Amino acid sequence: MDVHAFASMKSAPNEHRVDILHLSPPCKFFSPCKTIRGCANDEANEAALFCIDAMLKKCRPRIITLEQTFGLIERFPLHFNALIHQFTANGFSISWQVMSFQNRGLAQSRRRLIIVAAW
């Protein structure tokens, strides 16, 4: 289900409660490789980052992991700050790091932003 549809779906309290929630919003909009604005799905991909608040309220997880391109920090610092705020405003402690996945066995030199949050 599309994240926008899930976030706006009416449901009973605790119906979607989870212990661990992994989030991986679309990265294309924030990628350092992306140089052209106004591509198909740009608006929806950017907006998906801001559905996290609704996901946190609906699922009420104890632990959250999130994976995203490092371009979010380097190219979109206001978006990154808004992302962090979504976690802290919901009472989560948060830690993040940009990691090279090449050091983790990936053949590519792919750098990823990894976020871990806990209640």
Tens digits of residue pLDDT in 58-83 = 899 999 999 999 999 999 999 999 99
36 three-state secondary structure: coil
Question: Average model confidence (pLDDT) for the chain?
Answer: 89
What is the β-pairing status of strands 20-23 and 63-69? parallel
50 lies in a domain?
yes
The SS3 of residue 97 is: strand
- Beta strand pairing status for 93-100 and 111-118? antiparallel
* Inside any domain, residue 69: yes
80 in the Ramachandran plot: left (φ > 0), alpha (ψ -120 to 50) or beta? alpha
Whichever domain contains 84, its CATH number is 3.40.50.150
Q: Round to whole Å and give the CA distance between 15 and 26.
A: 25
Per the structure, how many domains does the chain have? 1
pTM of the model: 0.86
Which of 33-37, 40-44, 69-73, 98-102 has the least mean pLDDT? 33-37
- Domain coverage including residue 28: 3-7+18-118
